[in-house]
Structures are given as structure tokens and as C-alpha cells.
């Protein structure tokens, strides 16, 4: 195999929680009368919760908001988001994703998560993947979110492999940039694939099997 491990982003790669993120931010923005749409939402992919809020507030033109108020708004969004995550179940894990993960593991590859989300463990549990991955690096063990490579470098360190031995899989342009900044090769799906941000720009998740084997 070309790699020893694959490090997957979570939201928008393993599961479609990116839509739940959008709906929760939209609800928060609407309550404040702030314009928010899917184009702006694409800029939030891979970006931490507080940095996402700052991007949304570019459209806010009211009186200055205190740090306390900003934390309150981000908490409000996270509460909406967590509420929707309770609907997630193993049925939300697509068979294409699960079969691809199983096939990579059967080839001897280690599998890791590299996500900016502080909700990672909860989401993996809801999907029935609570103890599936060999390594989980997430928003709780980093100080800089994507496009900084920290979350992927920590995952590689936990795996005990060099970045050149690991393939990163991303749906966010910021995530692909993070992978490249850390010295990883990157395979993209979704938004990042359309933007041509990866070394491999896939039209479906199962293509990872071929990329890893070449």
C-alpha cells in the first residue's frame, strides 16, 4: 500500500453533519437578524466554532458585541446543533463509507480521525463508531484549527507515523490546506474536491481504496 494510515476529517466526510452545522448557524443568525447563506457556510468548513462565529459576524452591523455575548451566541448554536445530533444513528453512516473503511482496514491500514469539532466523540458514538478508529484527534486537543496542520500532525504523532505515510481525506478547502501545510497528501470530496484543493479530487468516497493501493 502507498500509505500506512488514512486520517479522515469527520463533518462532511464520514457523515453529513455539515448540513446540521448549517441549520444551527442559520437559526442563530436569523435570531440576530444576520444574513447567512450556504456560500458563507462553505467558509465555515473545518474552521473552529468561535472562528466560524467571527465569519458570520462579518454580516452583523449592530452595536459592538462583548466577548461574553459572542460566547453566548456560539453556545446557542452548539445547543441547536447538539439537539439535532441526537437524531443521528448508525443508519446515517452510509454503506459506501463503512465498506470503504472496512476495506482499508482489511488491507492493514490504520484509520484515524482529524477533526476541528469538539463534538467528535459524541458523533462517532451516535454513528456506532465509538471505538472504531485507531486514533481520534479533535477540537479538544488542539490550539489552532484548520488551515493550521496541528490536528493532523497530532493524529500522525498518535499513530506513530510520519505525515508522508498518511493520506488525509477532507471536504473543506481549509482542511486540504491544513493537510498540505503538515506535509500530507490530501484526497478531497465535496466542496474541496470541486475547488480542486486536493492531490486527488474524488467524485465518490470509495475511490480512496484505489488511491491507497496505487
Min separation Cβ 46 and ligand BG6, Å: 5
Closest CB to ligand BG6 among residues 56, 212: 56
Among Mg ion, ligand BG6, none, partner that 202 touches (CB below 5 to 8 angstroms by kind)? none
Nearest approach in angstroms of CB 197 to ligand BG6 is 14
Query: How far apart, in whole angstroms, are the C-alpha atoms of residue 194 and residue 49?
Result: 24
CB 179 within 8 A of CB 156: no
Give whichever of 4 and 85 is closer to ligand BG6, judged by the CB atom. Answer: 85
User: Which are the catalytic amino acids?
Assistant: 9, 11
Q: Give DSSP secondary structure letters for 9-65.
A: -SBTTTB-HHHHHHHHHHHHHHHTT----HHHHHTTTT--HHHHHHHHGGG--SSPP
Q: Looking only at residues 42 through 61 of this chain, which bind ligand BG6 when binding is defined by CB under 6 A? A: 44-49, 52
Told to check if 177 binds ligand BG6 by CB under 6 A, we report: no
148 DSSP assignment: S
Using Cβ positions, the residue closest to Mg ion within the complex turns out to be 12
For residue 11, the minimal CB distance to ligand BG6 (Å) is 4
What is each CA distance from 98 to 15, 37, 169, 205, in whole angstroms? Answer: 10, 31, 15, 10
Rounded to whole angstroms, how far apart are CA atoms 134 and 110? Answer: 6
What is the binding site for ligand BG6 (CB under 6 A)? 10-11, 21, 44-49, 52, 78, 115-119, 139, 172
Amino acid at each position: 500500500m502507498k500509505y500506512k494510515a488514512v486520517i479522515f476529517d469527520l463533518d462532511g466526510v464520514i457523515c453529513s453533519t455539515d448540513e446540521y452545522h448549517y441549520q444551527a448557524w442559520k437559526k442563530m443568525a436569523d435570531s440576530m437578524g444576520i444574513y447567512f447563506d450556504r456560500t458563507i457556510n462553505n467558509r465555515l468548513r473545518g474552521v473552529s466554532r468561535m472562528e466560524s462565529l467571527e465569519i458570520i459576524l462579518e454580516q452583523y452591523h449592530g452595536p459592538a458585541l462583548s466577548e461574553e455575548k459572542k460566547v453566548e451566541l456560539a453556545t446557542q448554536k452548539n445547543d441547536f446543533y447538539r439537539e439535532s445530533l441526537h437524531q443521528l444513528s448508525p443508519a446515517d453512516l452510509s454503506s459506501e463509507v463503512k465498506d470503504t473503511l472496512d476495506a482499508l482496514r482489511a488491507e492493514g491500514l490504520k484509520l484515524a480521525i482529524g477533526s476541528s469539532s469538539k463534538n467528535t466523540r459524541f458523533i462517532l458514538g451516535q454513528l456506532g463508531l465509538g471505538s472504531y478508529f485507531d486514533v481520534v484527534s479533535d477540537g479538544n486537543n488542539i490550539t489552532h484549527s484548520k488551515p493550521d496542520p496541528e490536528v493532523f500532525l497530532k493524529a500522525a504523532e498518535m499513530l506513530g507515523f510520519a505525515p508522508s505515510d498518511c493520506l488525509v481525506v477532507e471536504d473543506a478547502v481549509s482542511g486540504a490546506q491544513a493537510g498540505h501545510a503538515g506535509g500530507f497528501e490530501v484526497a478531497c470530496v465535496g466542496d474541496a474536491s470541486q475547488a480542486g484543493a486536493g492531490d486527488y479530487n474524488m467524485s465518490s468516497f470509495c475511490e480512496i481504496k484505489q488511491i491507497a493501493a496505487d
